[in-house]
Amino acid sequence: MRRSVGVRLGRIATAAAGAVLMLGIAGPAAAWEVEAGAPDEDLRAFHRRFAAAAYPYPRHGAAPLGLVGFDVYVDLAVDEGFDGEPFFGPAVSGDLPADVLAVGRVGVRKGLPGGIDLGASYGRAIDSDLELVSAEIGWAMIDGGLVSPALGLRLTGTRSIGDGAYDLEQYGAELILSKGFAVVTPYVGGGAMWSEGRFDRSGVPHVPEEPPRDLGDDETRAFAYAGITVNLLVPKITFEVEQAEDLQAAVKVGFGF
């Protein structure tokens, strides 16, 4: 029988706690890495699962920050079923921290006139050499008010950095709907992401008569999410559940106004 969503979320929350601890104690050496010599189908499956897990979901509502508003944050997303997939052994070597794929980010968002917000972040798959830089632009089509919700359009772009065997390029577009109350802001959203992954096989043993063949794969995938931000003034804490390739959860701690 399939596990209930409640049981899965409980396991994800427990895994997230372990991954948060790993953020503070992980060393510089990679505990897991991508094996570019794996079969093509395993590498493609890895790319699709990793790209969905590493997407820079908003983890905030649709209302604009405003001209003087800003948000500095750290967040962590957890995919607790990543190491149970058939591709994990062939395409990934090593052990995941706390037995989950955990992607941590630090970032900043700044409000501009006209309901525009700009943001940038740096991320890393914990205990790996996979690093990510992302940028986003948001536009609040409806600001929201005492009784009306806010509606926003958000565009994102992500690139991997470094000289690892796997490179990711990703773009996304989404709509966010949220409603602010006294100290909480629930929100929902969804959209589509386009992700291209490339695997460098220059270091993979091959037949001398045949040059190494790099592998590329791209796809477009729909996604959805729901979350809630608790405004404690300092800080603001957001919990979000995300569904693309699989269900995952994230927590964000932000400072600003």
Domain coordinates in residue numbering, the chain: 5-256
Structure tokens at 53: 């897990």
pLDDT for 13-30, tens place per residue? 444 444 444 444 344 557
Structure tokens at 241: 């559940």
pLDDT of residue 145: 83
Find, among 170, 2, 129, 140, the residue nearest to 67 by Cα. 140
pLDDT of residue 24: 43
**In Å, how far from its chain's centre is CA 72?**
17
pLDDT of residue 2: 45
pLDDT of residue 111: 96
Instruction: Kindly state the percentage of the chain with pLDDT values over 90.
Output: 70
The residues near 135 (Cβ < 8 Å, ≥ 6 apart) are 118, 119, 120, 121, 156, 157, 158
182 vs 178: which has the higher pLDDT:
178
Q: Are 20 and 76 in contact (CB under 8 A)?
A: yes
Q: Is the pLDDT of residue 205 over 80?
A: no
pLDDT of residue 1: 45
What is the distance between the alpha carbons of residues 121 and 109, in angstroms, rounded to a whole number?
A: 9
Can you spell out the DSSP letters for 7-23? HHHHHHHHHHHHHHHHH
Query: Model pTM?
Result: 0.85
Question: Strand ranges (DSSP E) for the chain?
Answer: 32-34, 70-79, 92-94, 101-112, 116-125, 131-142, 150-161, 166-178, 184-199, 215-231, 236-243, 247-256
pLDDT of residue 30: 75
pLDDT of residue 117: 98
pLDDT of residue 106: 96
pLDDT of residue 4: 53
Average pLDDT in the 148-157 region? 97
Model confidence at 71, pLDDT cuts 50, 70, 90, reads very high
105 vs 211: which has the higher pLDDT:
105
Model confidence at 208, pLDDT cuts 50, 70, 90, reads very low
Provide the β-strand partners of residue 75.
Answer: 105, 252
pLDDT for 35-65, tens place per residue? 988 999 999 999 999 999 999 999 999 999 9
Averaged pLDDT of the chain: 87
Q: Which residue has the tokens 């948001």?
A: 138
Model confidence at 201, pLDDT cuts 50, 70, 90, reads confident
